[in-house]
A and B are shown apart, each in its own frame.
Chain A
Amino acid sequence: MDETRLRVPEWTKPLWDVVVVGGGNAGLVAALSANDAGAAVLLLERAPHHMRGGNTRHTRNIRCVHRKDEFYTGDYLFDELWRDLCNVGDGPSDEELARFTVADSETIPAWMSAHGVRWQPPLRGTLHLGRTNRFFLGGGKALLNTYYREVERRRNITVVYEAMVSEFIFDGDTCTGVVVRHGDVDYQVRTKAVVATSGGFEANIEWLRRYWGDGVDNYVIRGTPYNDGLVLARLYDAGAATAGQEKGFHAVALDARSPRFDGGIATRLDSVPFGIVVNRDGERFYDEGEDVWPKRYAIWGRKIAEQPDQIAYCLWDSKVQGLFLPPMFGATTGDTIGDVATQLGLDVTRVEKTVAEFNAAIVPGGSFDPTDLDTCRTTGLRPDKTHWAQPLDTPPFFGIPMRPGITFTYMGVKVDRHARVVRVDGSPFRNVFAGGEIMSGNILSSGYLAGFGLTIGSVWGRLAGTEAARYGH
């Protein structure tokens, strides 16, 4: 037997004040907050060092209540953020917790700055969110690196990578420790309190299959492959109550050639409002010009998921080429729509018919404006395209295949106002807390507000860390 296996790691020995499970944004904020409150913290990160941080790696900004400053182009106050939150999907799941989240968000940017985070002013790529959202310099991985550097500076926080929490050990309503698998060995770690910040289950294809059927085999998972929901499942086993809808997820339209996992932001597509979208059978199925793209970006994943074979194709012509970011894998090009359809494996006759009908249905006299809701529309189609409708008539033509890309799932554990995980019988565990995606279903039912995942992770990570420290220290 390998000698290193016999040596028990130091971090398995103490009775910790707080064990944080999951080293993404919520986990790091929880660990730092618990440590700020004086607790000795063990942070267990499932991924290896280069993949640390879960889906925070792919984030870029946070949405908080604020007044205008050098990093925002305007005010964004409680009422407006609350209204925006109520307007997505079915609105907040738990109004009290959602109101608290919005109110507490106002203090988050200052907390982040105090813990080393740097910001960038709104530039070209961020301008459309420049008033409502605050952008951390360099994006999510830079944010994580900053927090991890801060964590490494603290004497009383220990981080372990490739540490998978496989069991919670309970004594009645109290968690006394966790079982950690690390380097093929299971270790028991004792703790006074636990914070679960381990994300959702969007990378667990079999779990998704329960709600979505075999269509999931055609879904792209945009983030970390480590979010398999193991911790969430263990908490359910221990009697935790569910918050959020089981089919609740955030999904966007992605390039079908994206990697199965972890492709992040780069494989997204911005071409939809400028062309038409057809399904496997060459038929249009939804208004491509319903609203400006940032506002409709997040509905197309679900729309494509509902189509046969979970695939769709965006087609455009050279008139609009260059008005949006070029797809990272390039586009299929051809001198005729039929040529592009052939290369994409579509029924040429059907696609040509769809395009011809679309071109014929365009209301004459519209004035094209790519930057705002314009007057170019079709009439008499089902569905109509209500803005930016221009005939596809100028070769070369372009096309790309699209798949649904899941960003994250909403269903998680129910929490109370102190971030304690609540059981099915309505009573909370005494010392098990949760923050971030694993409890986002308490706040979001469906739909999504850009940057609000980070808000939930920061507000609830901080609360969970502070409350856990109070309990454990």
Chain B
Amino acid sequence: MATDTTLPAAATEDRHETSLHALVREAERQLIICNACRYCEGLCAVFPALERRTVLGTGDVLQLANLCHDCRACYDACMYAPPHEFAINPPAILSAARLQSYQRYLWPRRVPRLFRGRIGVFTGMVLATIFCIAIAWVTSGPEALFRGPANGAYSPYEVIPYEPFFLMGLLPAVFAAVITYLAGRAYWREIGGRPAGAGRVVPLLKAIWHSMALTNQRGGGADCHYPRDDKPSPARRRLHITLVAGYGLCVVSTLSAAFLQDILHIDPPYPVLSVPVLSGTLGGIGITIGCIGLVMLKKDSSEATSVAEMNIKDYGLLSALFFLATTGLFTLMVRATAAYPLVLVIHMASVMLFTAMAPYSKLIHAVFRFQALVRDEMEAAAEQARRR
């Protein structure tokens, strides 16, 4: 019955490893009980995935942690939830493990102190705004920030010319993409990669569907038990879908603008009834509604199943997205006025900052959760192949 409770010597060197190790042990304790019970197997993908495993290592726990969509239906259904002495609380332990996974694969693992927390965001915004103003000042001259639009509505290039504007968008994105790619690769290795016998295409397509429709947040049909553990409601799922759709429309806006400009050589500003302006406006509204709604739900969220640090990360991302969307909408609203340049540089600064910081924010959950869904579909496919 000897269960090894000593930490590996190397792990004690590192606070992250130590706390992750403790979390994995606690997750293992709880999930062994879950695996002996199995009443929750109809609720989401986590429990069938658990049933495929008789041993739980770090990779297994981090896979299940990101597969969990935090719908909390299992907590409501659990006769072993606290105050029962078994103290089973999968939403909380999996959230805690998920939180650890967010920083585990990043470079640098800890963001420098200056850029952490509210002070970090403020510092970042100030620095980025000063940077954007400086670029505008140097490239278009100081008057570019104050004079009115050349003809009716501003083009962003009147404030910052195309080449620097393009680079300001591109460089943070490249940085974020590299960091995210490396993190995703490391996570994929830790959760075991593609299991033998599984295909690629079908699991990928299924995972795309599950991540779009949030099928694992339905509590198996009764719906998401968030924010109140005892009251199923579709609110969070719908708001999240609204937010993601809004985000997608903003991407469409950016890409269509690039298409108009670089392929069709039609320069901005674009009319209100154009793809970039319409999709950008709708997208901005979607993000705004999603953010406000999700923050309101979160304020009401049950303490028993929530992890305080995760809430901080959620509030951080939601406020950043809210700021991004509202400044974006604002640039559209004021593009015929002299306020445009200042609003634009602030929006630009927030876009740059948000993009560069995205891997360090809660946004990374999208990457790991998608990978966990792919891995899960692959496991299921491999299992079916074995049965045949």
Residues of A within 8 A of B (CB): 50, 57-58, 60, 118, 120-121, 123-126, 135, 137-142, 145-146, 149, 259, 262, 264-268, 322, 325-333, 343
Contact = CB atoms under 8 A, between A and B. Distances in A.
Contacts of B81: 50
Nearest to A269: B36
Interface in B161-219: 219
B42 A123 contact: yes
B1 A138 contact: no
B267 interface: no
Contacts of A149: 230-231
Contacts of B42: 120-121, 123, 135, 137-138
Contacts, number: 99
30 contacts: A123-B42, A124-B51, A125-B38, A125-B41, A137-B42, A138-B42, A138-B43, A139-B39, A139-B40, A141-B79, A142-B39, A142-B222, A149-B230, A149-B231, A259-B85, A262-B79, A264-B37, A264-B79, A265-B36, A266-B33, A266-B37, A266-B80, A266-B86, A267-B36, A325-B54, A328-B33, A328-B36, A330-B3, A331-B1, A333-B1
A58 B33 CA distance: 14
Given A138-B222, A333-B2, A50 B83 contact: yes
Nearest to A139: B39
A331 B3 CA distance: 10
A423 to B, nearest CB: 36
B73 interface: yes
Contact of B35 (A137, A322, A325): A325
A466 B81 CA distance: 34
Contacts of B17: none
A126 B230 CA distance: 25
Nearest to A60: B39
Given A139-B40, A141-B79, A322-B54, 12 more contacts: A50-B81, A123-B48, A137-B222, A139-B79, A141-B78, A149-B231, A264-B79, A264-B80, A265-B39, A327-B36, A328-B32, A331-B1
Contact of A262 (B2, B36, B84): B84
Contacts of A333: 1-2
A138 B220 contact: yes
A310 to B, nearest CB: 22
Nearest to A121: B42
A329 B42 CA distance: 25
Given A123-B48, A124-B48, A328-B32, A138 B80 contact: no
Contact of A138 (B54, B73, B230): B73
A145 B230 contact: yes
B77 interface: yes
Contacts of B38: 124-126
Interface string B217-260: 00111100000001100000000000000000000000000000
Contacts of B231: 149
B6 to A, nearest CB: 17
B221 A137 contact: yes
**Top-9 shortest CB links A-B:** A120-B42, A139-B39, A138-B77, A125-B38, A142-B77, A57-B79, A266-B36, A141-B79, A328-B36
Given A137-B220, A138-B74, A265 B2 contact: no
A326 B35 contact: yes
B60 interface: no
Interface string B18-59: 000000000000001101111111110000100100100000
B314 interface: no
Contacts of A142: 39, 73, 76-77, 222
A343 B1 CA distance: 9
B68 to A, nearest CB: 15
A277 B231 CA distance: 46
Contacts of B33: 266, 328
A123 B383 CA distance: 14
Nearest to B76: A145
A146 B36 CA distance: 24
A146 B83 CA distance: 21
Nearest to A223: B79
Contacts of B85: 259
A269 to B, nearest CB: 9
Nearest to B74: A138
Nearest to B32: A328
Q: Which of A137, A140, A326 gathers the greatest number of chain B CB atoms within 10 Å?
A: A137
A140 B79 contact: yes
B115 to A, nearest CB: 43
A137 B40 CA distance: 7
A201 to B, nearest CB: 21
Contacts of A326: 32, 35-36, 54
Q: Which of B33, B41, B42, B78 gathers the greatest number of chain A CB atoms within 10 Å?
A: B42
Contact of B220 (A120, A259, A264, A332): A120
A70 B296 CA distance: 38
B55 to A, nearest CB: 8
Contact of A126 (B2, B41, B86, B219): B41
Contacts of B230: 145, 149
